[in-house]
Every structure is written in C-alpha cells, then in structure tokens.
Amino acid sequence: MKDPNNTRNTAPRRGSPLWIYFVVVILLGLAAGTAAFSGLSRADLDALVGNPVFWILGCFIIFGELRPIITPGSTENNGATTSTTFSFAALLYAGLPIAAALQAVAVITCGIFRGRSPHRIAFNVSQYTLSLAAAQFVLALSGDMATPSRLWVPHGSDLPAIALAGAVYFACNDTLVGAAVALHARVSLLKALRWDLAYQVLVHLALLGLAPLMVIAMDRSAVFVPLIVLPFIAVYLNASVSVRREHQALHDGLTGLPNRKLLIVRTEEALAEARGADRRLPRAAGLGSRRRKALDPPAHRAGLFLLDLDRFKEVNDTLGHPTGDRLLQLVAHRLTHSVRPGDLVARLGGDEFAVLLPTVRDEAAAREVAARLRAALSEPVRLDGMSFDLEASVGIALFPDHAPDFELLLQRADVAMYNAKEARTGVETYSPGKDRNSPARLTMLGDLRRAIDRSELELYYQPKISLHDGHLVGMEALLRWRHPDEGLLEPEAFLSVAEQTYLMRSITHYVVEAALTQAAAWWRADMPVQVAVNASGRDLLDTGLTEVIEEGLLARGLPAAALQLEITERILMNEPAYASDTVSALAELGIPLSLDDFGTGYSSLVRLKRLPVEEIKIDSSFVRRLADSPDDAVIVRSIVDLVRTLGLRSVAEGVEDAAIAERLREMGCEAAQGWHFCRPMDAETATEWLRRHAHRAPEPAA
C-alpha cells in the first residue's frame, strides 16, 4: 500500500490542505470506530475474549503489518501487507468492531516499532477503519451482518457480495491514501492513483481472495488457521530470494553500493522528473518566444558526479588488493554519509564512483556537494598500521545545462573529472572548451590546423622595463590568431583547446621560429634584445624542442641568451616535466628560463635553484591589487625579497599605472611590464618602438 507521507515523518504544516485532510480523515475514522464499538454487547465481548481464533488473527495481522511482502521494485512503504487478508477475514467472520480493533492494534504496534509520527499512525488507523466500514456497509446491504457472538461463514452464493465488499474496501483504501499522496506531492488525485494502480489491484485481488478461505478454516478449527499461513511463508521466501537476486544484480558486491545498472535507472527517473517539473513551471505570457525564454524560471536541474581516487593504484601495488578493497569499502562508507538525503552514490568499478543529485539548484550548489565529498575523503585513514591521505578528483555535469540524457551526462562528467586531474583543481564542471570530443572544440581544432598552414598566427611583443633606470630588459612574444571571421584572438581563446593535442607541438615550434627570426632582425639592426616565449608543460616533455631551438640559434647566428623560455610555476609541481631530458638539454644549451605567474602555485625552492631560471615574474593578480590589498602587498614584498636572496631578477606583470610602478620600485622589484609602459605591439610597431626607446628610458603609454 502506498505511504501517504513516505518522504518525511513530520506533521504537515498546520492549516495546509494536507493537514486539513489528515484531520478530516482522522475524525471520520474515529466516528466510524466509535459507532462500531458502541454496538458491541456483553455477549460479544465474552465471545471475543474466549475465542482463540481472534487472538491468532491478531498475531497474524500484527506480523503482516510489521513484515510486508517486498517484491523487486517495491519497498516497505508500498509492499504487500498480508494483514489485509486477515483483517478482511475478521470482518467477514465477526464484523466491523473486531476487524477494526485488530487492525488498529497492528497499525499502532507497527508505528511504534518503526518510530512513525503520531499523526501518521492516527491517519493509517482511520484509513483502515473507514475502508473496513465501507466494506461492512456493502455486506449489510446484502443481509450479511456478523458479530463476535454470531459468527458468519459464507457460502458459494455469497461470493458476489464478498467480491463487491472487497472492491469497495480496495477503492476506499486506495483513494484515501492516494489523496494524501496527491496533496503531499502537489499532483492530481488521478495521477497519484495511477502511479502503482496495476500492482495494487493485483496484490489486493490475491490477498482479499484468500479471506473467505480463511473464514472457512477458522470456522472448522483454530488449528487450521496456521495452515493458511503456509502459502504466505512460501511467498515471503520466494519474494526474499527475488529481492536478494535483484539486489545482487543492481549493487556492487564489494561495497554494497548501487552499480551502473541501478545508477542508470535512478538517473533516468530523476531526468524524467526534472523534465516534468520544467514543463510545470509558469511561463511569462504575452511575450515573444525569445523574450519569454529569457524570463522563464531556470530549468529544474539534476547533477551527475564522477569521482576518481588519486594514486589508488599505488596502494594496490604496494599493500595488495585486500588492503585496497578495505580502502574502497571505507570510501563508500564516507561518501554515502556525506551526500544529501535522496542523493545516490554508486560504484562504477575500480576506484571510480558516481554520485547522482536528483535535484540541484545550480552549479554553485553542485560544487558545494563535491567539495564536501572531497573533504570527507581527505580525513586520514589508518589501515594495517599505516596512515593514508586520500584525495579525489570530481567531475560535474548538470542536466539540462550540459547533457540531455544519462550517457552524455556520464561522458561529460568523465571529461570534467579528467580536467580536474590534469589541472589538479580537485573539482571541475564540464566545459565544452575543454572537451576534446565537443563539436565546437573539434571545429576550432580544424580551424587552428588550417591557421598554422595559412600563417594566420602572429607574434605581438611587449617590453619589460627596468624600474630603476627605465632601460629595456627584454621583449615578451605574445601569440595572436588573426582569425578570418572572428578577428584577432588572444591565446585564452584557443590555446586551452590546442594544449591537449598534437597541434601544441606545431604551435610552439612556430612561435620559437618566429621569435628567433624577429630577434635576429633586431640583433642585425644593432638592437640586441632578449625575446621571451611561453612554453607549456607538454613542451618540456618534447625532446624535439631543444633541437629546434639549437638549430634556430645556429642558423641565425644568435647566442643562447637571445631567447628566453617562460614557464608557469605549476610546471615545477609536475615531476616528469621538471626532470625531463628537455630541461637538462636546455640548461646545457644555456637557454635561460623565466618563471611565470609566480605566487599562484607551490614551488619547491630546491627545484627552483636547480633550474636555469634567471628571473621570476610576479603574477598580475597580486600586482593589480597592490594599492588596495595589504595582504597582496605583503605577498609581493615577500616574493621580491625571496627573489633577491636567490640572486634572480624580479619582474612584475600587469602594471597599469605610475603609482603601482613606483610602489614596486620602492619594494626593490627590478623590472615590470604592462599597459603603463606599453601595450603589446605587432612586429613592425615593436621595431619602431625599439628604435625610439631601446637606449633611453621609455615614456609611459597613454
């Protein structure tokens, strides 16, 4: 039987439609029960106490309420309660007072045992009392009125009346519960009744059909009553086996979590509910379709996380699979106790888990849940006398923002998870620009491949200026893409797409060749300028980069000092990039390195000293807030002092006004670059600028 309040165990809000409905049903049930019991005579009570059949029936009804028959797809809230057979049999055999009393005792006992709220127990007692009273009314119309002192045993000719009484009992019971569900879920009564109508009809047909047989057995002897229970025991056992098999098919054997099959089912249900909720949202009437879409409330969202443990393979390889399995069980426990009520945690295999959020407000709310999961996993774990620090990478995909169905949601959550691993951010939301398989990304890759062949890539140059005497320190080469349709694009618009593909190698080689060609032109014009180009972690793993640089320098007659490679601080955290043969070869060649975006990562000073670094560039995010943020001022001063101690040059990025430039000079920063001095210039403009400014202090740019 459906549960009228299966989503919560708290009383409905006073004065709400559900609260009013509960009060009305409880009062009607109380009135029906009072009227029934008022008709009992002394002889009826004596017969009730002295007949062992009623005590046996009472035990069966209580057991039936406590242990419903749970079949695959059902729960304790909508499983088949065998108490229906015994209470309806009591109604046929001894009348309404006995049936209502035994059913009430069973409902109250079950409610107390399961910790249900008083309002819920009272509603269930009244629901059954009213349903039994309706069935009793039908039997009375046919002339069949049993009492404890005048028992009634049906004959074959009574079956139509019993069938009609059973139908009325079912209709009344299902409608009372369905109305409560409809008010709680805010759906129509018809929709609430149709949710599991076929299942309920089939179950009640079987349960109510056994009631006349139970009456005949009771009339013969109380000893026959337990025999009727044997079929129920068989049904219980078969249902338990089926449920156990279903559980094994839908759950992971190691952790007990739902597996991929159950995750698909629950996700499809959540997406269907989300689509239905979106259709029910009020629309802005009287507007054009485009404006109406903009003003409509945001769509109902669902979220799917993909979570992968970092460095789990090391645990398996070092301590063995049994320890790894225990660790996975602990992870499963922590995840299930960290999600919100209603969320689903599933294990997909290995150290990969999925989390379904059937409802989520927006991306920020999804990130909060993901952060809570990572925090729960980060607590140290002790196994076999050893302590483990767990970390996980989480990818987030939202419906309908990122995908319309389960398969695409899972795929895009997987893309986001690997982005989180690569960027070491811990949590990433799906972004089409970072998806190697997205149509937009594939289109851009095709355009970028053609751009290399068509020489659409250009280098712009921005000077680095000494803060002490205004002399030129060097030029940074900045890549631009002169797109035939979208105009001049900066690196942020396309490099993130190229960095994960083979195109990055071609782009880097192009930039190095173009920068060396321009540097050679300046050196021949008696303007010996050091040109800096940016290199990614992937570039430092490219053994061909050193050959390109060495051959380029030799072909143009340039010293190694004419070129500088700028790498971001995060590369120092990547052991393969730091220890690569390319870095060693560059050091032997004499190519100096500049450490870019300093302050945004976690550098190792040991690695910093071992690399051929000649300058440290302070990230612009600190420099721009220098005048307004005391904390950033402390950070910048600390970096400048550290760099000076290491014997390196400090360069501030993003200097946009004279006040910040002066503040940096006072702190001891040696050089700076930014719009205050000069904006990035194409090669021709940069050459003219050098002719005017290379040997004297530059004037601030307007």
558 and 668 belong to one structural domain: yes
Nearest to 698 by CA among 469, 477, 529: 469
528 and 390 belong to one structural domain: no
pLDDT band at 555 (very low <50, low <70, confident <90, very high): very high
Q: Three-class SS of residue 361?
A: coil
266 and 232 belong to one structural domain: no
Q: How many domains does the chain have?
A: 3
240 and 265 belong to one structural domain: no
Nearest to 459 by CA among 413, 385, 516: 516
Q: Which DSSP state fits 494?
A: T
Per-residue pLDDT tens over the stretch 186-241: 777 787 777 667 777 777 787 788 788 878 877 777 677 677 777 766 666 665 66
**Residue 308, in any domain of the structure:** yes
Q: Is the pLDDT of residue 299 over 60?
A: no
Residue that has been written with the tokens 């799906």 in this structure: 430
Average pLDDT of the residues in 535-561: 85
269 and 398 belong to one structural domain: yes
Query: For residue 299, what is the domain's CATH number?
Result: 3.30.70.270
**What region, left, alpha or beta, does residue 679 occupy, with left being phi > 0 and alpha being psi -120 to 50 degrees?**
beta
Average pLDDT of the residues in 5-25: 72
Structure tokens at 643: 């760099």
pLDDT band at 377 (very low <50, low <70, confident <90, very high): confident
Average pLDDT of the residues in 683-700: 73
**Residue 420, in any domain of the structure:** yes
For residue 235, the one-letter residue type is: V
pTM of the model: 0.48
Per-residue pLDDT tens over the stretch 627-667: 777 877 888 888 898 888 888 899 999 898 898 999 999 99
Pairing of strands 381-383, 352-360: unpaired
Name the β-bridge partners of 568: 596
d(CA 503, CA 446): 10
Q: What angle separates helix 96-113 from helix 83-94, to the nearest 10 degrees?
A: 160
Answer with the one of 224, 250, 276 that is the final residue of a domain.
250
Per-residue pLDDT tens over the stretch 313-335: 666 666 677 878 888 888 888 99
**Residue 391, in any domain of the structure:** yes
pLDDT band at 295 (very low <50, low <70, confident <90, very high): very low
Name the β-bridge partners of 386: 383
Answer with the one of 250, 275, 309 that is the final residue of a domain.
250
268 and 401 belong to one structural domain: yes
**Residue 495, in any domain of the structure:** no
**Residue 497, in any domain of the structure:** no
Per-residue pLDDT tens over the stretch 129-169: 999 999 988 888 887 677 777 778 888 888 888 889 889 98
Per-residue pLDDT tens over the stretch 45-87: 666 666 667 777 777 787 777 776 665 555 555 556 778 888 8
Q: Is the pLDDT of residue 287 over 70?
A: no
Q: What is the pLDDT of residue 605?
A: 57
Among 89-103, 229-243, 569-583, 621-635, the least confident range: 569-583
542 and 655 belong to one structural domain: yes
241 and 267 belong to one structural domain: no
Q: Average pLDDT of the chain? A: 80
d(CA 413, CA 419): 10
Domain carrying residue 201: 17-250
Answer with the one of 430, 448, 472 that is the final residue of a domain.
430
Query: For residue 135, what is the domain's CATH number?
Result: 1.10.1760.20
**Residue 81, in any domain of the structure:** yes
**Residue 382, in any domain of the structure:** yes
- Asked if the peptide bond before residue 12 counts as cis, ω within 30 degrees of 0, the response is no
pLDDT band at 551 (very low <50, low <70, confident <90, very high): very high
**Residue 28, in any domain of the structure:** yes
Pairing of strands 457-466, 472-483: antiparallel
306 and 170 belong to one structural domain: no
Query: For residue 469, what is the domain's CATH number?
Result: 3.20.20.450
d(CA 571, CA 580): 11
pLDDT band at 246 (very low <50, low <70, confident <90, very high): low
**What distances in angstroms separate CA 25 from CA 21, 125, 338, 552, one per listed residue?**
6, 10, 39, 90
d(CA 554, CA 575): 31
268 and 240 belong to one structural domain: no
In sequence order, what DSSP letters do the residues of 5-33 get, joined into one string?
A: TTT--SPPPTTSHHHHHHHHHHHHHHHHH
Average pLDDT of the residues in 85-104: 84
User: Higher confidence at residue 33 or residue 2?
Assistant: 33
Q: What is the pLDDT of residue 100?
A: 86
139 and 267 belong to one structural domain: no
CB 135 within 8 A of CB 180: no
243 and 268 belong to one structural domain: no
User: Higher confidence at residue 461 or residue 75?
Assistant: 461
